[in-house]
Amino acid sequence: MKKRWFKLDNAAKIFPPISNKKDPKVFRFTCILKENINKDILQEATDEALEYFPNFSSILKQGFFWHYLETTNKKPIVKEEKKEICSPLYRKNKKKLLFRVNYYQNRINLEVYHAISDGTGALEFLKTVVNIYLNKKYNLNNEIDYDASLEEKSADSFNKYYKSSNTKNEVDERAYQIKGDKFDDFRFKVFTGTMSTKSVLALAHQYNTTLTGLIVGIYIWAIRENMSLKDKNKPIYIDIPVNLRKYFKSQTARNFFSVLKLKYKGSDDLESIIKEVDTYLKEELKQTNLFKRMNKYATIEHNFLVRLVPLFIKNIILRFASYLSNKDLTTSVTNLGVIKLPDEIKDFVDSFEVYVSTDKMQMAICSYLDKLNISFTSVFISTDIIKDFYRKLVSYGIDITIISNRLE
């Protein structure tokens, strides 16, 4: 294969300098099938899927001014899962692929370093792997449904839609920080609650909001339930990534997302919380506001003077900026929405899960058919916030099955 190189997109540039053992900037998608995995077929499916996603066949390299991706002939080796969830993928000066595929019983896991793709791009890759796997295992002839050219999948959509802007950053109040003892060795606890999508949607409609509005509202309520009285006057800030492909024409398999920063500083009344969250989301998800936010984050990259600064200085600046940003953040919520598969293969799949590495606490949401999975990753030993969140849903009559990883 002839080597090609790609500039990192606007969102990806931040990840190499700030990735570390505490938060390796890795996320995981899991597809749970109804039968155990055949390792050899999964290896073949992974190899074939790479032909559709050129940015996944790449390694991260350092230039004088920026990091960049270079295509490689390296092939992923599918293994049974043994590493901790979301273990580091990027190591400086190591020529390694930036994703891994492993399995355990009936679970296919795809873990991705955020510099090569966002959740939507990675999900399309996993769906392609699953599609090819099921075709091979059951002699199906289902077509790959990601209808985009290699150029479209490799496109930097941030650059396509960038327009210079004078939007100024607002100064945030210092965010409330979740407190508590943490696990040693940079590990985190994982919880996944599985429930009926229809039941949660019905509850959301009772509050005249969306599923996201309901879930984020209950999460804020659970955090406030565990805040001390002296911390009640501090705002909760929640980062909510938004898939920009829904609002701007793009089929890129690279990063193309924006991040909403929701602030809540109000009462403990759940109905009031949900109403405020719903109002914020409806306003900020308007295309004009997303466009302004996207351009604000891209302005630095397009600054002529910034481009001339050597990479080692940029790395110092980006690490410091990330440190300041982290202090103004309480938690994050990632919602991948409804996952769909072609009719020919959908009955072979039980559900999907998503997890995101963190040095705090983070929630991730996705649904498949009538199974809604709400997952938490947390570095905190205490599980009070997570328990209060799930118990609140149960109090509305929603049945939840909860699984967790085992940490010694």
Determine the average pLDDT of the residues in 63-68: 68
Q: Which residues of 123-133 are buried (b: 16+ CB within 10 A; e: fewer)?
A: bbbbbbbbbbb
Contact 364, 354 (CB under 8 A): yes
Confidence tier at 251 by pLDDT (50, 70, 90): confident
> What values do phi and psi take at 104, rounded to 5?
-150, 115
Residues 238/330, Cβ–Cβ less than 8 Å: yes
What is residue 152's three-state secondary structure? helix
What's the gap between Cα 76 and its chain centre? Answer: 22
Question: Rounded to an integer, what distance in angstroms lies between the CA atom of residue 137 and that of residue 188?
Answer: 35
| Per-residue confidence (pLDDT) for residue 54, from 0 to 100 | 82
Nearest to 334 by CA among 250, 182, 194, 219: 219
Q: Is the dihedral of CA 293, 24, 222, 192 positive or negative?
A: positive
The pLDDT value given to residue 216: 98
Q: Are the beta carbons of 368 and 123 closer than 8 angstroms?
A: no
- Residue pLDDT, tens place only, 111-132: 999 988 989 999 999 999 999 9
Rounded to the nearest 5 percent, the helix, strand and coil shares of the chain are: 35, 25, 40
User: CA-to-CA distance for 106 and 350, rounded, in angstroms?
Assistant: 10
CATH code of 189-345+360-404, in short, is 3.30.559.30
The larger pLDDT score, comparing residue 246 to residue 178, is at: 178
Q: Residue 325: pLDDT above 70?
A: yes
| Residue 54 φ then ψ, to 5° | -60, -30
- The per-residue pLDDT for 299 is 56
Question: Residue 230: is its pLDDT beyond 70?
Answer: yes
d(C-alpha 163, C-alpha 168), whole Å: 15
Max Cα-Cα span within the chain: 63
Please state the three-class secondary structure of 111-134 as a single string: EEECCCCCHHHHHHHHHHHHHHHH
Percent of the chain with pLDDT over 90: 59
Residue among 408, 370, 365, 397 at smallest CA distance from 191:
365
Range from 17-26, 156-165, 241-250 carrying the lowest mean pLDDT: 156-165
Helix (H) or strand (E) holding 258, with range, is strand 257-264
Taken in order 213, 214, 215, 217, the sign of the CA dihedral is positive
Nearest to 258 by CA among 307, 222, 228, 298: 298
pLDDT at 9 over 80: no
Beta-carbon contacts of 293 under 8 Å, excluding residues fewer than 6 positions away, are 258, 259, 260, 284
pLDDT at 237 over 60: yes
Q: What local confidence, expressed as pLDDT, does residue 364 receive?
A: 97
CATH 3.30.559.10 fits 5-140, yes or no: yes
pLDDT band, very low/low/confident/very high, at 304 (cuts 50, 70, 90): very low
Report the distance separating Cα 34 and Cα 369, nearest Å: 14
pLDDT of residue 406: 80
Q: Taking CA 117 as the corner, what is the angle to CA 97 and CA 334, rounded to the nearest 5 degrees?
A: 125
Q: Answer yes or no: are the C-beta atoms of 31 and 134 closer than 8 Å.
A: no
Q: Which DSSP category does 380 fall into? A: B
The residue ranges of every structural domain in the chain are 5-140, 189-345+360-404
**Of 115-124, 170-179, 248-257, 370-379, highest mean pLDDT:** 370-379
Whose structure tokens read 């190899």?
A: 47
Mind listing the pLDDT tens digit for each residue in 262-300?
999 999 999 999 999 999 999 998 888 888 877 665 555
Average pLDDT, the chain: 88
Residue the block writes with tokens 């959301």 = 204
151 compared with 65, residue with greater pLDDT: 151
| Domain 5-140 and domain 189-345+360-404 have a common topology | yes
